[in-house]
């Protein structure tokens, strides 16, 4: 009947329904991808306090999500698509891995890193090939499968290892550089052996004649691809680089040609049946690493891997590593898991201990290098799962390998932390400050002065800083002289790069300073050892010279003069911009504590008595590392019989209204503040017990609510003390100083020091501002280029 059944309408409904289903499936897959990315990032953020690399969180999330029932049932409908994406991603991964390798290291005499890599690989390979045949890893055990497994176990995932080393800031150290180089060498050699071995040991059912024929064809194809890449790619890529100089965008046509060339060289050997993934690695090996095109390819592919591929890869890994096939009730499953972990760990460590003994390494460092080189990564996970997919290995053994890979990665950050801990113990001189000075060690101090006008204040400073005669202190009195063209013309170069200054004005000034300081030391210098130094250079490089001098002399405290001088009426002049530049740079780069002395008649103080009090000094303690350093210096001053020292501690009022107002107005890291307060209380308690409770030091507290009360309290100290010692800063957003730096005239003095040295403060009170050295890098006082080997 007409109108009862309309074919066109039914067809439209069917098309609409199919489009709706396809759109729904596509949206669901996109949503699942973003959900995986978000979950991996969140879990990685949770593991950051333990410095775990991203692969750790990705492994955990992938194994968890991929084994959830509904998700696994949904993936069953798209296994081919997922496999295709993973194989394409692995092609990109292996191409980048090969691009970062240097094939010519095989033709060079092995250096230390290569010897370490070879030793670890050889011992692991021997151990694996000897033990694994007895633990039924394969459905059908054969020599080629045992050798393939042993080669994979002897390798290292250099991208993962490099990320662990660099993220923990030891990449510039000798052991960090050695581990990265050995890891890359181990990764390169093991992957190269797998790539070449794929031809000889491809496990397919065919006659010997067919096997030999296939191996010959693939060998020829791989050889042609390698030669083509090694010979042609430098010319082609150099042409593209020359046509696209730095500073200009890459031309689109050249990018298309470059990508097409890379695809071509990666595809040559695949025509013979060779693995596309290993073919990409072999092509990447012989392609130039330098140049704009190679760097562009590295950047783009790495971005694709980290942002898109890795979440999908670990999603696929979780699906393939079905825990239902793990067989946890079988004893052999756990035996295989344990033996794999022992082979990977003991094999690497044993080989590197032996090579380390030959190369002169300490055995603890050899053990840590071995543990780091056990790290496995994405390629090893892929090999384990592909072996399961093709039926070459038991599913429980494949899942056990993935768990072993997880264990090789998760321990790496703790090994690096132990390396840093050992290096810090062996390099104590990097923490050069008074707070960390051993009481039984002498104080080494660098006193810098601009000329004779600073001599009297320097002498008084030495007097109050002398502490006890045993162990005493070593003072390096250093003249800061700008190297002008006139002075440079008078320099006389001697042997061993020595330089003699013959300028008459300079020599006379130095003789005058030396005479005055030497006279003081001879008359009153019990426990003081005097040395004379010279910082002769342009102001632009003078801070560097002084820093190098401090490092060489193991200095704990550098004292610099304020760049302004006091006039007869008590006010300051405009100051010298060169010396201000030096002070600012020293505060930023000095390897030890730095003090800036604002001299307001401190040098005019009559001779400080050693039998009765003749000088009143105060130290202000609010909190933070600089205030702790100021208190540490005050501890030396407290030993002087002629000094009356007063400690003034500024405390925040504990009223609920003030606390709530502070919490709402000022943002700070609560954990960091709590840690700083704990350090402040411990350090101050030790000082109080030593110098206040059982000594002559006076103590007072000021309970304040805000920075306005801090300012008024500082003003109330006017005229009471000859010298006030303060910390420059280093406080954790203290409510007592917030806002005070908005009106600072000299930021290098810090908020408290700037107020006390201001023109409206006492003209007879000198100020000493002390800053503790900033911890270098993120290694808590340890240089990033430390040496431990």
Look up residue 432 and give its DSSP letter. B
Beta-bridge partners for 727: 770
Nearest to 409 by CA among 777, 50, 13, 772: 50
Q: Which helix (H) or strand (E) holds 1?
A: none
* pLDDT at residue 199, as a whole number: 85
Identify whether the C-beta of residue 669 lies closer than 8 Å to the C-beta of residue 732: yes
Task: Please name the residue ranges forming H helices in 100-173.
Answer: 112-131, 143-154, 158-167
Q: Around Cβ 513, how many Cβ atoms within 10 Å? A: 19
* pLDDT at residue 118, as a whole number: 94
DSSP 305-367: IIIIIHHHHHHHHHHHS-GGGS-TT-HHHHHHHHHHHHHHHHHHHHHHHHHHHHHT--HHHHH
Beta-bridge partners for 532: 477
Q: Whole-angstrom Cα distance, residue 75 to residue 621?
A: 64
Beta-bridge partners for 649: 621, 701
Q: Around Cβ 689, how many Cβ atoms within 10 Å? A: 11
Q: Could you tell me the mean pLDDT of each successive run of 10 residues in the chain, 789 residues long?
A: 51 66 68 80 84 90 83 65 88 93 85 92 94 88 88 93 89 89 94 89 64 85 89 89 80 88 88 89 89 87 90 89 86 92 94 90 91 95 92 90 94 90 65 76 89 89 83 90 84 66 85 91 84 90 90 90 86 88 90 91 73 82 90 88 90 58 46 78 89 86 86 87 88 72 81 86 88 64 65
Q: Is 23 exposed, middle or buried (0-12, 13-18, 19+ CB in 10 A)?
A: exposed
* pLDDT at residue 670, as a whole number: 60
What are the tens digits of pLDDT across the range 116-153? Answer: 999 999 999 999 999 999 888 888 888 888 999 999 99
DSSP 205-261: ---HHHHHHHHHHHHHHHHHHHHHHHHHHHHHHHHHHHHS-TTSPPPHHHHHHHHHH
The vertex-543 CA angle with 500 and 552, nearest 5°, equals 70
**Residue recorded with tokens 């990685």:** 44
Three-state SS annotation for 679-705? HHHHHHHHHHHHHHCCCCCEEEEEEEC
Handedness of CA 580, 584, 590, 594 (dihedral sign): positive
Identify whether the C-beta of residue 635 lies closer than 8 Å to the C-beta of residue 691: yes
The vertex-195 CA angle with 191 and 196, nearest 5°, equals 120
**Residue recorded with tokens 């005058």:** 512
Q: Which helix (H) or strand (E) holds 481?
A: strand 473-482
Read off the tokens for 457: 């204040």
The SS3 assignment for 554 reads coil
Beta-bridge partners for 617: 645, 723
Q: Whole-angstrom Cα distance, residue 713 to residue 708?
A: 9
* pLDDT at residue 123, as a whole number: 95
Q: Is 347 exposed, middle or buried (0-12, 13-18, 19+ CB in 10 A)?
A: buried
* pLDDT at residue 55, as a whole number: 93
Q: Whole-angstrom Cα distance, residue 433 to residue 421?
A: 19
Q: Whole-angstrom Cα distance, residue 660 to residue 567?
A: 46
* pLDDT at residue 328, as a whole number: 84
Q: HSE, CB side, 13 Å, CA atoms: give it for residue 709.
A: 12
* pLDDT at residue 463, as a whole number: 87
Identify whether the C-beta of residue 221 lies closer than 8 Å to the C-beta of residue 274: yes
Identify whether the C-beta of residue 366 lies closer than 8 Å to the C-beta of residue 179: no
Read off the tokens for 601: 């008649």
């Amino acid at each position: 009947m007409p109108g009862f059944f309309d074919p066109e309408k039914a067809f439209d409904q069917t098309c609409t329904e199919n489009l709706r289903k396809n759109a729904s499936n596509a949206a669901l897959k996109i949503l699942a991808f973003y959900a995986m990315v978000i979950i991996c990032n969140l879990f990685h953020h949770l593991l950051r306090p333990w410095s775990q690399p991203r692969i750790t969180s990705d492994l955990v999330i992938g194994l968890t999500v991929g084994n959830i029932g509904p998700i696994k049932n949904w993936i069953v409908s798209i296994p081919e698509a997922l496999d295709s994406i993973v194989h394409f991603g692995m092609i990109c991964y292996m191409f980048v891995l090969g691009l970062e390798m240097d094939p010519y290291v095989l033709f060079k005499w092995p250096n230390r890193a290569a010897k370490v890599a070879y030793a670890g690989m050889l011992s692991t390979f021997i151990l694996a090939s000897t033990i694994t045949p007895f633990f039924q890893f394969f459905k059908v055990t054969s020599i080629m499968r045992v050798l393939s497994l042993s080669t994979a176990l002897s390798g290292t995932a250099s991208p993962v290892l490099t990320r662990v080393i660099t993220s923990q800031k030891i990449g510039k150290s000798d052991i960090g550089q050695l581990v990265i180089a050995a890891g890359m060498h181990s990764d390169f050699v093991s992957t190269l052996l797998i790539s070449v071995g794929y031809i000889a040991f491809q496990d397919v059912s065919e006659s010997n004649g067919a096997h030999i024929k296939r191996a010959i064809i693939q060998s020829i194809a791989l050889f042609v691809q390698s030669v083509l890449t090694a010979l042609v790619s430098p010319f082609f890529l150099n042409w593209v680089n020359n046509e696209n100089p730095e500073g200009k965008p890459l031309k689109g046509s050249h990018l298309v040609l470059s990508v097409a060339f890379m695809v071509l060289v990666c595809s040559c050997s695949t025509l013979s049946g060779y693995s596309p993934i290993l073919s990409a690695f072999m092509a990447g090996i012989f392609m130039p690493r330098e140049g704009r095109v190679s760097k562009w390819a590295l950047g783009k592919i790495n971005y694709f891997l980290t942002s898109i591929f890795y979440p999908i890869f670990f999603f696929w890994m979780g699906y393939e590593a079905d825990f239902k096939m793990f067989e946890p009730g079988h004893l052999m499953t756990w035996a295989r898991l344990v033996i794999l972990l022992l082979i990977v760990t003991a094999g690497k460590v044993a080989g590197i201990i032996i090579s380390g003994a030959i190369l002169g390494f300490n055995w603890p460092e050899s053990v840590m290098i071995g543990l780091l080189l056990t790290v496995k990564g994405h390629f090893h996970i892929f090999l384990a799962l592909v072996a399961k997919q093709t039926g070459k290995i038991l599913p429980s053994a494949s899942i056990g390998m993935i768990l072993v890979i997880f264990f090789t990665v998760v321990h790496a950050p703790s090994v690096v932390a132990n390396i840093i801990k050992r290096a810090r113990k062996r390099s104590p001189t990097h923490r050069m400050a008074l707070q960390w000075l051993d009481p039984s060690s002498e104080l080494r101090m660098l006193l810098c002065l601009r000329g004779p006008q600073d001599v009297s204040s320097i002498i008084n400073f030495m007097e109050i800083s002398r502490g006890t005669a045993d162990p005493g202190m070593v003072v390096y009195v250093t003249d800061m002289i700008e190297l002008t063209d006139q002075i440079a013309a008078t320099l006389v170069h001697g042997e061993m790069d020595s330089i003699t200054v013959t300028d008459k004005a300079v020599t006379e000034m130095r003789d005058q300073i030396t005479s005055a300081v030497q006279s003081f030391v001879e008359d009153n210098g019990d426990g003081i050892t005097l040395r004379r130094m010279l910082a002769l250079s342009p102001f632009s490089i003078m801070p560097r010279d002084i820093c190098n001098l401090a490092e060489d002399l193991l200095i704990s405290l550098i004292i610099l003069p304020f760049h302004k001088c006091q006039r007869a009426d008590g006010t300051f002049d405009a100051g010298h911009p060169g010396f201000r530049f030096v002070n600012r740079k020293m505060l930023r780069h000095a390897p030890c504590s730095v003090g800036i002395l604002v001299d307001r008649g401190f040098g005019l103080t009559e001779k400080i008595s050693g039998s009765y009090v003749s000088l009143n000094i105060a130290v202000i303690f609010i909190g933070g590392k600089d205030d702790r350093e100021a208190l540490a210096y005050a501890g030396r001053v407290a030993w002087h019989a002629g000094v009356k020292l007063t400690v003034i501690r500024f405390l925040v009022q504990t009223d609920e209204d003030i606390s709530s107002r502070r919490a709402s107005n000022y943002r700070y890291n609560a954990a960091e503040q709590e840690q700083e307060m704990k350090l402040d209380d411990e350090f101050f308690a030790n000082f109080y017990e030593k110098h206040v409770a059982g000594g002559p030091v006076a103590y007072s507290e000021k309970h304040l609510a805000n920075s306005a009360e801090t300012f008024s309290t500082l003003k109330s100290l006017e005229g009471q003390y000859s010298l006030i010692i303060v910390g420059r800063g280093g406080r954790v957003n203290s409510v007592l100083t917030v806002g005070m730096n908005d009106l600072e005239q000299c930021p290098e003095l810090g908020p408290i020091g700037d107020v006390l040295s201001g023109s409206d403060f006492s003209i007879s009170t000198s100020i000493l501002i002390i800053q503790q050295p900033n911890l270098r890098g993120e290694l808590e006082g340890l240089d990033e280029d430390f040496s431990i080997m």
